[in-house]
């Protein structure tokens, strides 16, 4: 990854921030994107990269019309894009019955349509370049459905369908796609989760609090990307749920039914 250009969305905290630090250690040049410029600048400073090697680019992924301009900004600054790490996202803590339809739309706009829109904005350049790598953060919830996560699970499942199709379409053109399924990683994602009315959950989940260190997660993700893995699972024992779903779905269903909602 030395001197490659890696664009990271959701770079202001959590896995995105950890990826910025890991990629900087591997010699990459970075584009850091999220909504909060002050937090992006904090992460940029923490990378210890020369100012010319890190571009702070605040943006709103739901503002589709602005994305081509942002792509051009990156190209004007670095002249290339090699990796697009898509980490921006928001989760949920509410039952289907209690969740307003607008909350589902918000989850899909940020988690799915935002990733699709940026991909489509970057794709023409990567196809012309005949190289490039999309790294998409899904979740274990992109493989299985759990209580009080219906909209989050749906948005993450959708990412798999879209990016699996993109991989098949663009492989011969030299593009690669890695889908990352993290389990419990020690990030503030549950603090910003939406409840059924679209308000912040504002609580740290116990499993999240004792989850994997984000730095370890980022290290594993980057190793998988350099090996051009198509899909990678990162976490603890919760990863076993993916294999139970594949081979013993009835057992997993009973486990999920018996677990209390968070």
Q: Tokens representing 26?
A: 């591997």
Return d(Cα 254, Cα 259) in angstroms, integer.
9
H or E element at residue 32: strand 29-33
- In angstroms, rounded to a whole number, what is the distance separating the alpha carbons of residues 95 and 142? 17
Report the alpha-carbon distance of residue 42 to residue 171 in Å, rounded.
36
CB 179 within 8 A of CB 140: no
* Residue with tokens 């350049």, as numbered in its chain: 125
Catalytic residue among 83, 152, 184, 233: 152
Q: Active site includes 233? A: no
Active-site amino acid positions: 152
């Amino acid at each position: 990854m030395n001197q490659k250009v890696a664009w990271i969305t959701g770079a202001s905290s959590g896995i995105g921030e950890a990826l910025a630090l890991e990629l900087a250690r591997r010699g990459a040049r970075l584009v850091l994107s999220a909504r909060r410029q002050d937090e992006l600048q904090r992460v940029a400073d923490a990378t210890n990269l020369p100012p010319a090697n890190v571009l702070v680019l605040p943006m709103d992924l739901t503002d589709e019309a602005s994305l081509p301009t942002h792509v051009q900004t990156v190209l004007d600054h670095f002249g290339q894009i090699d990796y697009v790490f898509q980490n921006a996202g928001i989760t949920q803590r509410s039952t289907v019955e209690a969740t307003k339809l607008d909350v589902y739309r918000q989850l899909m706009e940020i988690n799915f349509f935002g990733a699709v829109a940026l991909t489509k904005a970057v794709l023409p350049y990567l196809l012309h370049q005949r190289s490039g790598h999309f790294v998409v953060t899904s979740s274990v919830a992109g493989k299985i459905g759990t209580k009080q996560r219906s909209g989050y699970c749906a948005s993450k499942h959708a990412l798999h369908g879209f990016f699996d199709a993109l991989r098949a379409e663009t492989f011969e053109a030299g593009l690669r796609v890695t889908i990352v399924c993290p389990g419990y990683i020690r990030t503030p994602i549950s603090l910003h989760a939406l409840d059924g009315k679209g308000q912040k959950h504002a609580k740290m989940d116990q499993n999240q609090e004792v989850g994997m260190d984000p730095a370890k997660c980022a290290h594993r993700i980057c190793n998988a990307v350099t090996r051009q893995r198509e899909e990678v699972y990162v976490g603890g024992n919760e990863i076993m749920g993916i294999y139970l779903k594949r081979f013993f779905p009835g057992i997993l269903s009973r486990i999920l039914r018996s677990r209390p909602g968070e």
